[in-house]
Chain A
Amino acid sequence: MNPHIIEIINAIHGIDWSLVIPQYFFFTGISAAAFLISALTYVFGDENYRPIAKLSLIVAFTVLVAAPLNLIADLGQQGRFYSLFYHTHATSPMSWGSFLLTTYPLLILLEGIFAFRAGFARKAQKASGGMKKLYTWLALGNDQVTAQTEKRDHKWSYLLGAIGIPFAIAVHGYTGYILGVVRARPLWHTPLMPITFLVSAMVSGIAFMLILTWLMVRDDQGRIPWKLIDRLAVLLGWTILTDLTIRLFWYSIGFFYSYGSYQDVIQFMFVDHFVDTVIVEMLIALVIPAIVMLIPALRRIRPLLILSALVTVAGVWLFRWNTVIGGQEIPKTGAGFYHYSPPLWGSKGVMEVVANWAFWIFLFILFTWFLPWRSNDEMEIETDVTEQSAILAEGGAQ
């Protein structure tokens, strides 16, 4: 018979990965999703998403610039972070990350050069002096927009976008790997971790772009593009359903049909943390938004739609928190569970995450102010191109 055990002496092992890690995972997820949304236009040629294609690229890039700062913040020896590039280790997902986190933003940058070139060329035509020089330089030294340059730009943004897709998936998928390989932590150790992270990243990213579209994108008449938002909402609804399905597989097989340490997770998630995981994270932030997104009558209650998208974004953040912090609240040897609430200030405090958001907002404002991302800028170009191609076609016919 197993005795009733009372722990008298044991070391307490607190939370080593603080809340900047959920923030990091959250941001890489947004980046991956935003990149894939831009790829819908640049790679798959879906014109419906063109009004937000460039904006998505900007989000994908800026968020990925802000994200790794969280990683550095969480290191014990922050000054040594660069050594990750020459002290490498093939079996460590964290080591792969160093290379993904450098090549992927470079790819976005390159793609951006071609995606924004025409816009800069147009700006260069209108500007004068130093700005003209700058814009011309950014337009790769050519301030003309012709059918030929358009063709080239499209070709390159298509190519780079296509190459970028696996990188976008990897840059977030690897974060799931980081957790998934840790067999010491029953909440993390599942092959489903990369995939559930990816799908929930899509959830947060689509909801995030939906909100940004509502905030920033206007059609020619200056109206909110509800058609596009509805399209995003439906996409979001289905992605949430996929997310929930994967969760169902994970929780049912991973915990309910498992042995030993995995059983602790049931108590932790579904009893002790019932409210934050089941009620808030799953019901309020996934199930209800999915219903709102997929039922047209509900979706048309616009404040409800926007609120649901916001709640979804927050819910995915909570999922990252519950996974990263929650996983560490289940002791490896000690009895019971730990309880963690982060300090407000200082290293590993809440303000680190707030500061990271602030930095991203700053970057985002800077980029959207400077870059010609609005499709309205492009409209004229598009007409130019159609005119030109019409002329070309005529020429060909003659």
Chain B
Amino acid sequence: MNSDRREFLKFIVGGAAVAASAAAVIPKQEATAAAPNDPSDSTHRWGMLIDLRKCIGCQACSVACSMENDVPLGYHRTIVSTYELDFGDTARRATLPRLCNHCENPPCVEVCPTQATYKRHDGIVVVDNEVCIGCGYCVQACPYDARFINPETHTADKCNFCVHRTEAGLLPACVETCVGGARIFGDLNDPNSEISRLLREHSTQVLKPEMGTDPRVFYIGLSEYLQAKVNGEPVPWTEEELQKELAQL
């Protein structure tokens, strides 16, 4: 059993029995509870650390996420962006798992006209898809391309750290499935959690720090040239081509 999972189980069995019983009392919350119904409290602050040295770019996380969250074809709550880096004499692959950063200071939340999207007390940024009008303002405001308008619900959609799983004491699907153990999920408020320990021991990076969003998804080994908009040759297909392909499936 890998250590973060053990960590997580410990947390359920031990100190957080309260949370578990609360989860039993509160009827199973949809990922998208309205702000007043936010069942979380600020005891925990969930975050993720992605150790790029361990990521092999297999996309198991992307697939697990899409299955867990029923993400429509052609859209992604998480994806492992993959790059070929040509250094002239050498070349290598770079992988970069992307997801919502659950920013401490999320621009998507401040622009939402209906407050359908909000940050829970435990830091998870969620969308109440019964309030969301699908205006797409949050999609524009997110600096990380983390959001999209779901063509089935016609509302904003994105990673929510599998809130339905984490509330039940499970790990997010992507973390659970990660082959290399590159994704570490845990409580940033707990100094003894594995993520807190790794953050202390390693120098870590975030995407687009200049945006002032204060992401809660950290990376080990993220090169500067991949931190913001990538300056290079784009993927050799367009959105229209992609849609056409999808239509044929």
Q: Which residues of A contact B (CB under 8 A)?
A: 1-14, 16-17, 74-77, 80-81, 83-84, 87-89, 91-95, 97-98, 178, 181-185, 260-261, 264, 328, 330-339
Q: Which of B18-26, B48-56, B127-135, B190-198 touches A?
A: B127-135
> Does B181 belong to the interface (CB within 8 Å)?
no
Interface string of B210-249 (1 = CB under 8 A from A): 1110000000000001101111111101110010000000
User: What residues on B are CB-neighbors of A332 within 8 Å?
Assistant: 142-145, 229
Q: Which among B82, B111, B116, B225 has the highest number of chain A CB atoms within 10 Å?
A: B111
On whether the beta carbons of A10 and B143 are closer than 8 Å, the reply is no
A80 → chain B, closest Cβ, in Å?
4
> Can you give 15 A-B contacts (C-beta < 8 A)?
A6-B232, A8-B84, A9-B59, A9-B82, A12-B238, A12-B242, A89-B112, A94-B135, A98-B113, A178-B137, A182-B111, A183-B212, A260-B228, A333-B98, A335-B232
Taking the closest CB of chain A, its distance from the CB of B74, in whole angstroms, is: 9
Kindly state the separation between the CA atoms of A12 and B76 in the bound complex, as whole angstroms.
Answer: 10
User: For window 98-113 of chain B, which residues contact chain A by CB distance below 8 Å?
Assistant: 98, 107, 110-113
Contact in complex: A87, B116 (CB < 8 Å): yes
Distance of A87 Cα from B35 Cα, bound (Å): 12
Which residues from A are CB-within-8-Å of B228? 260-261, 333
| Inter-chain contacts of B148 with A (CB < 8 A) | 13
- Collect the chain A residues with CB atoms within 8 Å of residue B113's CB: 84, 87-89, 92, 94-95, 97-98
Given A6-B233, A89-B113, A184-B211, 15 additional A-B pairs, CB 8 A: A2-B225, A5-B84, A7-B230, A7-B234, A74-B136, A77-B133, A87-B115, A92-B110, A331-B229, A333-B228, A333-B229, A335-B232, A335-B234, A335-B235, A336-B232
Contact between A3 and B87 (Cβ–Cβ < 8 Å)? Answer: yes
Report the minimal beta-carbon distance from B80 to chain A, rounded to whole angstroms: 7
Q: Is the CB of B83 within 8 A of A260?
A: no
A-B CB pair tally, cutoff 8 Å:
196
Q: Contacts A84-B114, A335-B234; is A16 near B131 (CB within 8 Å)?
A: no
CB proximity of A17 to chain B, nearest CB, Å: 6
Q: In the complex, which range does the number of interface residues on chain B fall in? A: 35 or more
**Which B residue sits closest to A328, measured CB to CB?**
B140
* B17 part of interface (Cβ distance < 8 Å): no
* Binary A-proximity of B139-162 (CB < 8 A = 1, otherwise 0): 111111100110001111000000
Q: Shortest Cβ distance from B138 into chain A, in angstroms?
A: 10
A94–B111 touching, CB < 8 Å = yes
Q: Which residue of B lies closest to A12 (CB)?
A: B239
Q: Are A184 and B142 in contact (CB under 8 A)?
A: yes
With A76-B155, A98-B113, A335-B234: A7-B144 Cβ-Cβ less than 8 Å: no
Given that A10-B235, A16-B139, A92-B113 are contacting pairs, would A76 and B86 also be in contact in the complex, using a CB cutoff of 8 Å? no
- A355 CA / B232 CA spacing, docked (Å): 40
Q: What B residues does A97 contact at CB under 8 A?
A: 113
Instruction: Say yes or no: A183 contacts B107, CB within 8 Å.
Output: yes
Q: Would you call B29 an interface residue if the criterion is a C-beta within 8 Å of the partner chain's C-beta atoms?
A: no
Q: Are A87 and B114 neighbours in the complex by a CB distance under 8 Å?
A: yes
Given contact pairs A3-B225, A7-B234, A16 touches B140 in the complex (Cβ within 8 A): yes
**Considering the chains assembled together, what is the distance between the CA atoms of A10 and B62 in angstroms?**
12
Chain B, residues 76-97, CB within 8 Å of chain A (1/0): the string is: 1001111111111000000000
Q: Chain B residues near A88: list those with CB within 8 A.
A: 113-115
Contact residues in B for A185 (Cβ distance below 8 Å): 140
A385 to B142, CA, bound (A): 61
How many Å from the CB of B7 to the closest CB on chain A?
A: 30
CB-based contact A335/B133 at 8 Å:
no
Within the complex, which residue of B133, B134, B225, B232 is in contact with A7, where a contact is CB–CB below 8 Å? B232
